[in-house]
Structures are given as C-alpha cells and as structure tokens.
Amino acid sequence: MRWPAALRATLLALIGVLPLSVNGQGFAGKRLFPATPSVVDPFFIDELDLLLSHQPDVNKDDAKVDTTQAALNFSKRITRRLTLTLASGYAHLDPAQGSQQNGFTNTTLGIQFMGPISAERESVVAIGLDAKLGGTGSQAIDRDSFSTISPAFFLGQGFGNLPQSVKYLRPLAFNTAIAYNFPTRGREPETLSSGFALHYNLGYLTSFVRDIGLPSWLNHAIPVVEAPLRFCMESGCKGLTGTVNPGVIWFNHLGQVSVEASIPVNERTGDSVGMRLQLHLYMEDLFPNSLGKPLFD
C-alpha cells in the first residue's frame, strides 16, 4: 500500500500549528464534542475545515479507482442557533485502467439549526438541510449533473453521568448524523446516510474522573472510531457502502488536527485501507470580533 507523501508531510506540519492552551468549542457543560472528520458533529459554529483523504481501490461503476481529495467546508453563524455552510473540494482520480482525472466536486450549501443543549445531561441536538448542487463541479471527474436534497438530524451524548462503579467510561461520548438523500432526477435512487462516532476524551479523564499522570500534551488527545455508512433505499442499486475509521483527534482552543484510517466495510465499498487527515479551525477564537461572531447576535 502506498500513501501519498504529501499527506504524511502535511500531518507533521499541522501538528506544529496549534499551541497547547485549551479553551475549546462545542461544549455541552464540561463535555467537548470535537469536530469529527468523517461524521458531522452536532455543533454548528463559525469554523473552517480542511479535509485531505486518500482511498485506494474504490469501487466506482464496477471499476477500481484510487481517489485523492481535498475538501473545504466553511460554516458561518447567522444567529447563535442558525448557521449556513458552504462546502466544495478538488478530486484526483486514478483508475486501474484508463487515464487520470482531476477536477472540482459539486458544491454543497447547507443550513442548520441548533436545538437544546443540556449541560447536565451532556447532550445536544440539531437539524439541518443540505443541497448538493448538480453540475457545479468538473465534468472531468464525472460529477453528478443532478442535485441532491438532504434533510438531516444530529445528536451528541456524553456518558459523564455514569455511576462510580464504571467511572472510567465517563470520558466516552458519541455523536451521530442521519440524512435522507433525495435526488432531483427521478431515475436516481434515494439513499440514507447514517454516521456514528465514538470518542474517549483523555482530558475529561484527567479533569473529571482521575488524574493518572498523563503528560499535558496527551490530555489534548481524543481517540475516536467513526462509521460513515450509506444505504440504498431502492432495488437495483448497491446496498450498504461505507467505512470504519479509527483514529485520533488532537485539539486546543484554536482548533484541532485529526488523522484516521479508512477501512471499507465490504467489497462494494473498496478493497484497501485509506487515510483521512483534517485541520479544523475555530473562527470564534481566531477572529472573535469579525468572522468568529454571529451576524445577528
């Protein structure tokens, strides 16, 4: 298996970007919900996200394709609870047979509404609506010519209220995102996207359970396992596709760096392990008086 050298070099560079002081974003009480790289988290704040991914041997139209992609996502709060998002990317496709292809992916516009946040229960819910705009990407990478509308539900839940007998499970939390995808072209199948992320916050362990003597830099680490899945809801198309993504998130008050493996769940998805690398910036702390505050406070 060959990893692009650029991804390895970028990871080492990004680790040096963020200082160690912690404030953080996405809190429900004392629980931090990180911006998980593969499953959309339930907190929508002013943030900028860069995701680099490489997935070899992806099954696309019954052909094997090595896929490398850079995706950029920008979120801007209109009010404290209402957020607009804009996302796009650039893809490099290297098929086992045929020529390489490069081009921009379709642009996605979204709107999200933050629901109740419970500090006591360490929980948060949100709803959203995305529109992936067909034809906005490059024809070279065979982007969809039709649009897809996706209403979504998001949930985050921490386990900080577990009993003393299982206190070492209290740093655990999960977030999930469920979206139903309606294509605007009638002959295209409807799909269900379902993602689940389970994470263990070592800083929560030190601060609120027991200090076991971890070095300070390790208190900023969150081991995570994610499972972004897609189900075809109609006959005549692929059933389940997706990956299981173990990795680690390192965070501070300015943002986070994440790295994950990407393991296909079946042959329909692919045959080889990929890699995902994320740089996520909290605009609220970087630019508190401009880009980091709601338009209407």
Q: pLDDT digit string (tens) for 191-245?
A: 999 999 999 999 999 999 999 999 999 999 999 999 999 999 887 677 899 999 9
The model's confidence at residue 150, banded by pLDDT at 50, 70 and 90, is: very high
Please say if the pLDDT value at position 135 is more than 50. yes
Residue 285's SS3 state is: helix
pLDDT at 234: 83
Q: If one looks up domain 26-269+279-286 in CATH, what number appears?
A: 2.40.160.40
| Residues forming a β-bridge with 223 | 248
Q: Where are the domains of the chain?
A: 26-269+279-286
* Vertex 66 angle, CA 149 and 131, to 5°: 10
Cα torsion angle, 121, 122, 123, 124, sign:
positive
Distances (CA, A) of 35 to 214, 249, 257: 23, 9, 10
pLDDT at 27: 93
Which of the two residues, 268 and 82, has the higher pLDDT score?
82
Average pLDDT, the chain: 90
CB environment 196-214: b (16+ within 10 A), e (fewer): bbbbbbbbbbbeebeeeee
The answer to whether residues 57 and 272 touch, using CB atoms and an 8 Å cutoff, is yes
pLDDT above 70 coverage of the chain, percent: 91
Give the span between the Cα atoms of 197 and 40, in whole angstroms: 9
The answer to whether residues 106 and 144 touch, using CB atoms and an 8 Å cutoff, is yes
The answer to whether residues 215 and 221 touch, using CB atoms and an 8 Å cutoff, is no
Give the span between the Cα atoms of 26 and 28, in whole angstroms: 7
* pTM metric for this prediction: 0.89
